[in-house]
Structure 1
Amino acid sequence: MGKIKKIKASQTARKVPLDQQIEDDRIAKQRNRNKVRIRKDEDDKFVDSELSRKILSAARIQQHELESQFPTLEQSLYRKKIVALDTTNSDEESVSDENEDSLDAETFYDQIEVNQEDEEAIEKFMSKNPGPRRTLADIILEKITEKQTELDTRFSDAGTIQVQDVDPRVKQMYEGVRDVLRKYRSGKLPKAFKIIPSLKNWEQILYITDPPSWSAAAMYQATRIFASNLKEKMAQRFYNLVLLPRIRDDLAEYKRLNFHLYQALHKALFKPGGFMKGFLLPLLESGTCTLREAIIVGSIIAKSSIPILHSSAAILKIAEMDYTGANSIILRIFFDKKYALPYRVVDAVVFHFLRFERDNRTLPVLWHQAFLTFIQRYKADISSDQRDALLQLLKKQHHATITPEIRRELLNAKCRDVEILEPALQND
């Protein structure tokens, strides 16, 4: 069958002598293959790399000239208010980079407008004699003093700072890391900085790098590293001694939070227990938490998923604190997350509101809003006695529009003791 295929119609159709046909079959003949070559048109040409580089460079220069001649209104207004946190660094580029970071934050979280009247109302409930703020330097100096009188400081517990003599070469290396972190914007961090969480005297080494002088981007990267590699108690100390002072100073200076610091707070919630004990509760216990600080921190809590155990413990602690206006903001945000709170936490919140029955001060609207949110979410978890006491409280603390809503919710509430008694009566 295979030999038949050698005879082709084209060969039989041609009039070729027999001797030539026999000669052609003996000798392999090269076939004529006409390859089709696709030729590009003369107009379809590519621009070489050198010309592309020149075009892009000219476009950047032109764009820079246009921006310098016609800056946006928002940039021009905001540049007047920018003051560098690091007074030792007079580099103009660092100031402009911080400015751009703050402007970019608008695309990620809403601009918070704070009314001056609300701020004045909150200030009335702030602590008049706030305690001193402890920094990392204070902790280090205390431990150094203890070392002079106690020989066992070197073998102290893991939760305390172990003061050791730092090698001069190590100190010099971390002073170089400090200079890098002051001007850091993006890219890789020094490896010497990444290993700090694994050191026994990590707080002492961290003190050498001077955290207050870090850039906002460096603070965010540091929070990522320490939240991931430190245990909860250690992360709590980092939040309390480094992150919390920086957040408060940034808000006091610029009246808004840098986007990198906003991201750092999100990363801090990676360790929710450390965040509650090291950041949120100390902020509220200070008695000087402003309305702006409470709103920004509350917005992060509202957007994050926090385990019920940590949230319940935080609500319990806040309900037992001395009252400030910021407490009501945070409590209301926790109530809106609709946790199934234990009865112990619900009872603590009820007693928190009942404390104001004999308070003659005019409570802010935030207190009434938190009260209404609590009743709406947990009216079925209070007892009948607590409901009666709360109704009596409404006679002392009244708001024209919010109090009628609270009373209506309480009167229509089906209390927890009623729900327990009804099935027993039906069985009898």
Structure 2
Amino acid sequence: MAKNKRERNQNPQPFIADDDSVASTKKRSKAPKHHQKQDKMISSGMSSKILKEALLQQKEIEEEGSGGNVRNAFGSFEEEHNKHEEEDDIDDFGGFSETQSQFGNYDEEIDEDDEKLLEAFLSKDAGPQRTLADIIIQKIKENDANVASEARPLPQLDNSLIDLYKGVGKFLNKYTAGKMPKAFKHIPSMQLWEDVLYLTEPENWSPNAMFQATRIFASNLSAKKAERFYRLVLLPRVRDDIRKNKRLHFALYQSLKKALYKPAAFNKGILFPLCKSGTCNLREAVIIGSVLQKVSIPMLHSSVALMKLAEMEYCGTTSYFIKLLLEKKYALPYRVVDAVVAHFMRFLEDTRIMPVIWHQSLLAFVQRYKNELRKEDKNNLRLLLETQKHKLVTPEIMRELDNSRNRGEKEDDLMLLASPVSVINKTIEEDRFDIPEVPMEED
């Protein structure tokens, strides 16, 4: 036994190199790193199987995404997609569920009773909203009587171009993350950009593809063209998603925030058509309105939006958007303030019961702009509150109107009106040497 110990001490190298001996001892040597064992773990037969499977998958992807052997000035679709080029950071929404909300549980803001009351103000004879596909199909059928029977006719474009963008559309249908095809990025610079966009079937894009498309079009299209994209592609998709899922996909919510990159196009393409449709329900108003709450909007665009909403034919949820814009506390021009007063005075002889959101929007207006109202405006609003009352909100509105100055008056004038009793300012006479004695405690 002692002899064996001595041999091990004299020649330790064979003992350390023996893997079986190491495994049998309690004190194990440091485990080799993962990448050092990789070659031993995968046999040559397994490597060939993996390589074969990868080649098969690559072939399937090429057959699916190529749309035929289509090549034009932009190059083939697959090559452009796989090119490693420098590009802006792309947001990946792979970790979010299909119906995840961006701003928490907004169901708390939706009152069932108020929602039912708002339904009385919805337009009953409003037609279905028009999409880009509807407009292009109508245009094609008007110009060509031969395709009138086809459900989805193709525009008169080059066949290679049609095949290319059909392939792009199939790719966007399954898009989750990564670079967008270069052929798609060329669409904003095309003269017939709407026809080419129609070929990609925007109604079938994935939510993440819609976000990337909104980024591209908001940056590269003019305000007028961006407005058409918002109104004909983005808005119908957003409303459809809310109607189906009762909430909005995270990527589509981000698309709305990106759309505000062009505020004028957002107002004309999303906000105004939504209110003019007469079918905007409270859930849609709360979700889309939260975008207006979160994003900073220039005062000029908000002023225009307030004027247009005030002059528009009333729909119940219009009050919600008016309230949101008022609560952003802009220094509004007098013209906009007068337009909002005229908006509320339209309900002086309305016999319908106004929803709570209408009273809340009036309270928000009076709280913020009470000192910018004329005396006759305040008198008119008092008359309005005699016919349209809410037991909790109306007293607050009256209090705000009573304790405010009129337009053009200074704060000093309000002080004189509030305290008409004259104050006598007379100095107090005292003798500084006549100091009363203060008893001191004895030590």
The answer (yes or no) to whether the contact 1:384–1:417 under 8 Å persists in 2 is no
Q: 2:106 aligns with which of 112, 117, 124?
A: 112
Q: C-alpha separation between the residues in 1 aligned to 2:386 and 2:359? A: 13
Q: Residues 412 and 187 of structure 1: is their aligned pair in 2 closer, same or farther, counting only changes over 3 Å?
A: same
Where do residues 5-404 of structure 1 align in structure 2 (5 Å cutoff)?
Answer: 43=29, 46-49=32-35, 51=37, 101-102=96-97, 105-106=100-101, 108-113=102-107, 114-144=110-140, 147=143, 165-404=156-395
Q: C-alpha separation between the residues in 2 aligned to 1:319 and 1:54? A: 75
Q: What do residues 169-188 of structure 1 show as CA deviations (whole Å, max 9, x unaligned)?
A: 11001010011010111111
Q: Which one-letter code corresponds to 1:109 in the other structure?
A: F
Q: Residues 421 and 111 of structure 1: is their aligned pair in 2 closer, same or farther, counting only changes over 3 Å?
A: closer
Structure 1: state its 5+ residue gaps: 1-40, 56-96, 150-162, 424-428
1:129, distance to aligned residue in structure 2 (A): 1.3
Residue 50 of structure 2: aligned partner: none
Q: Residues 52 and 343 of structure 1: is their aligned pair in 2 closer, same or farther, counting only changes over 3 Å?
A: farther
1:117, distance to aligned residue in structure 2 (A): 2.1
Q: Which one-letter code corresponds to 2:125 in the other structure?
A: N
1:327, distance to aligned residue in structure 2 (A): 0.7
The answer (yes or no) to whether the contact 1:102–1:257 under 8 Å persists in 2 is no
Q: 1:410 aligns with which of 401, 414, 421?
A: 401
Q: C-alpha separation between the residues in 2 aligned to 1:366 and 1:167? A: 53
1:132, distance to aligned residue in structure 2 (A): 3.8
The answer (yes or no) to whether the contact 1:227–1:271 under 8 Å persists in 2 is yes
Q: Residues 361 and 216 of structure 1: is their aligned pair in 2 closer, same or farther, counting only changes over 3 Å?
A: same
1:417, distance to aligned residue in structure 2 (A): 3.4
Q: C-alpha separation between the residues in 2 aligned to 1:148 and 1:219? A: 31
Residue 156 of structure 1: aligned partner: none
1:276, distance to aligned residue in structure 2 (A): 0.2
Q: Residues 211 and 104 of structure 1: is their aligned pair in 2 closer, same or farther, counting only changes over 3 Å?
A: closer
RMSD: 2.8
The count of aligned residue pairs is 329
1:416, distance to aligned residue in structure 2 (A): 0.8
Q: Secondary structure at the match of 1:102?
A: coil
1:140, distance to aligned residue in structure 2 (A): 1.6
Q: What do residues 258-291 of structure 1 show as CA deviations (whole Å, max 9, x unaligned)?
A: 0000000000000110000011100011000010
Instruction: Indicate the structure whose relative CO is greater, using CA pairs within 8 Å and at least 6 residues apart.
Output: 2
The answer (yes or no) to whether the contact 2:264–2:301 under 8 Å persists in 1 is yes
Q: Secondary structure at the match of 2:264?
A: helix
1:101, distance to aligned residue in structure 2 (A): 2.9
Q: Secondary structure at the match of 2:347?
A: helix
1:164, distance to aligned residue in structure 2 (A): 7.3
Q: What do residues 19-73 of structure 1 show as CA deviations (whole Å, max 9, x unaligned)?
A: xxxxxxxxxxxxxxxxxxxxxx995565131658999xxxxxxxxxxxxxxxxxx
Q: Which one-letter code corresponds to 1:289 in the other structure?
A: C
Q: Residues 104 and 240 of structure 1: is their aligned pair in 2 closer, same or farther, counting only changes over 3 Å?
A: closer
The answer (yes or no) to whether the contact 2:99–2:245 under 8 Å persists in 1 is no
The answer (yes or no) to whether the contact 2:94–2:177 under 8 Å persists in 1 is no
Q: Which one-letter code corresponds to 1:339 in the other structure?
A: Y
Q: Secondary structure at the match of 1:416?
A: coil
Q: Residues 311 and 47 of structure 1: is their aligned pair in 2 closer, same or farther, counting only changes over 3 Å?
A: same
Q: Residues 278 and 369 of structure 1: is their aligned pair in 2 closer, same or farther, counting only changes over 3 Å?
A: same
The TM-score with structure 2 as length reference comes to 0.69
Q: What do residues 73-125 of structure 1 show as CA deviations (whole Å, max 9, x unaligned)?
A: xxxxxxxxxxxxxxxxxxxxxxxx9996336835x421211333222111111
Q: Residues 324 and 193 of structure 1: is their aligned pair in 2 closer, same or farther, counting only changes over 3 Å?
A: same
Q: Residues 50 and 258 of structure 1: is their aligned pair in 2 closer, same or farther, counting only changes over 3 Å?
A: farther
Residue 83 of structure 1: aligned partner: none
Identity of aligned residues (%): 50
Q: C-alpha separation between the residues in 1 aligned to 2:372 and 2:247? A: 38
1:293, distance to aligned residue in structure 2 (A): 0.4
Q: Residues 337 and 122 of structure 1: is their aligned pair in 2 closer, same or farther, counting only changes over 3 Å?
A: same
Q: C-alpha separation between the residues in 2 aligned to 1:261 and 1:219? A: 7
- Structure 1 or 2: larger helix share? 1
Q: Secondary structure at the match of 1:407?
A: helix
Q: C-alpha separation between the residues in 2 aligned to 1:54 and 1:218? A: 42
Q: What do residues 371-398 of structure 1 show as CA deviations (whole Å, max 9, x unaligned)?
A: 0000000111111110111011111111
Q: C-alpha separation between the residues in 2 aligned to 1:170 and 1:416? A: 62
